[in-house]
Amino acid sequence: MAPIRPSKIVCVGKNYAKHAAEMGGEVPAEPLVFLKPPSALVGDGDDIVMPRRSSRVDYEGEIGVIIGTRARRVSRDEAWSYVQALVPVNDVTARDLQKSDNQWTRAKGFDSFCPVGTPVPVSEVDLTALAVTTTVNGEVRQHGLVSEMAYDIPAIIEFVSGIMTLEAGDLIATGTPDGIGPLAEGDEVVVDVAGVGSVRNRVVKEA
């Protein structure tokens, strides 16, 4: 079971230049945001379920930000004061459906497509040393430093809170580095955020 209950999950796409390139594009002129439904949340040790209607399901390791207090039109200078905790996130994606649809709701929204780990208070984290690493069956597939983000976390909070009010408990997934790839039945995928912890999940096929 997921350890958090956000009213919404806001995600950022193409926030690392190398990932944007591997997706066939460039970093957008403004942060590219989309939503995942809270029903996609699962916790550490829960299964990622590959839906029958998708032929390719990918991992996307990310640094997650949990909002601590209601935020509306927050400046980047104030942004960290609105953050309660950090958490590892896997923005699981049905890549074939993402490519076929004109928007990403279906590809990102299946049940179990948002594994999250245990939140760690932001006061206990070295924010300058943040990095995300994804392994599949013990093999490193992704590694990205927070310094490599096109839009840093304060900039993301400023941008998102200028669009929608962020409520306490809301989750922002800040983007994935390059190295995305498909998962297969029986795989074990781990997303680790330095100084925060990890989320580990097994991949199964939909019954």
Taking the alpha carbons of 71, 74, 77, 78 in that order, is the dihedral positive or negative? negative
Whether the CA torsion 190, 128, 13, 162 is positive or negative: it is positive
**Is residue 46 included in any domain, yes or no?**
yes
Domain range for 78: 9-205
Q: What CATH number does the domain containing 67 carry?
A: 3.90.850.10
Average pLDDT estimate for 36-61? 98
Q: Is 81 within a domain? A: yes
Let me know if residue 1 belongs to a domain. no
In a domain, 113, yes or no: yes
In a domain, 2, yes or no: no
Can you give the pTM of this predicted structure?
0.97
Query: Over the stretch 141-192, which tens digit does the pLDDT of each residue have?
Result: 999 999 999 999 999 999 999 999 999 999 999 999 999 999 999 999 999 9
Q: What is the mean pLDDT of the chain?
A: 97
Q: Which residues contact 153 (CB under 8 A, 6 or more apart)?
A: 63, 65, 79, 80, 83, 127, 146, 174
Is 64 a domain residue? yes
The verdict on residue 140 lying in a domain is: yes
Please tell me the total count of domains within the chain: 1
pLDDT digits over 85-130, tens only? 999 999 999 999 999 998 999 999 999 999 999 999 999 999 999 9
Instruction: Report which secondary-structure segment, H or E, holds 86.
Output: strand 83-90
Q: Is residue 4 part of a domain?
A: no
Q: What angle do CA 187, 105, 163 make, to 5 degrees?
A: 120
User: What's the whole-number mean pLDDT along residues 38-42?
Assistant: 98
Cα distances (angstroms) measured from residue 125 to each of 83, 85, 164 = 12, 9, 27
